Amino acid sequence: MAQETIFSKIIRREVPAKIVYQDDLVTAFHDINPQAPVHILIIPNEVIPTTNDVESSQASNLGTLFIVAAKLAKQFSISESGYRLIVNCNKDARQEVFHLHMHLLGGKDLGPMLSLD
């Protein structure tokens, strides 16, 4: 079984987090170090370390990340101004937490897609 991270403890509410959505498949909470006025992490409740580990049986969990992202974008009033969804994988993408997560970022002009410094 995949190794748990702090995100599993957040899902089980064993450590504090500002949870904004939770159902049987996914949990969403504010990023602790926000990079934009709205910065929410949307994660499957099941531990999937990286996108490399995704299996077809998880299609419904992972599809739900997009459904929840759209719902939260509306709730946080960024659906029309726009937002960015990011999923980092491994070293070159600087993935820090090995529990697959989608970043929902918005509330300002986010600039070019990549900063290549």
Helix (H, G, I), strand (E, B) or coil at 96: coil
Residue 91 φ then ψ, to 5°: -65, -50
> Which residue number, 80 or 111, has a Cβ lying nearer to ligand AMP?
111
Tell me the catalytic residues: 101
How near is the Cβ of 79 to ligand AMP at its closest, in Å?
Answer: 22
Measured from the CB atom, the residue of 48 and 57 that comes closer to ligand AMP is: 48
For residue 86 the two structure tokens come to 């990011």
Q: Minimum CB separation from ligand AMP for residue 81, in Å? A: 21
Q: How far is CA 102 from CA 7, 12, 27, 67, 69, in A?
A: 12, 19, 11, 12, 8
Could you give the CA distance from residue 99 to residue 43 in angstroms, rounded to a whole number?
8
Q: CB-wise, 22 or 95, nearer to ligand AMP?
A: 95
CB of 6 to ligand AMP, least distance (A): 5
Residues interacting with ligand AMP, by CB under 6 A?
6, 17, 29, 31-33, 41, 88, 94-97
- d(Cα 87, Cα 83) in Å, to the nearest integer? 14
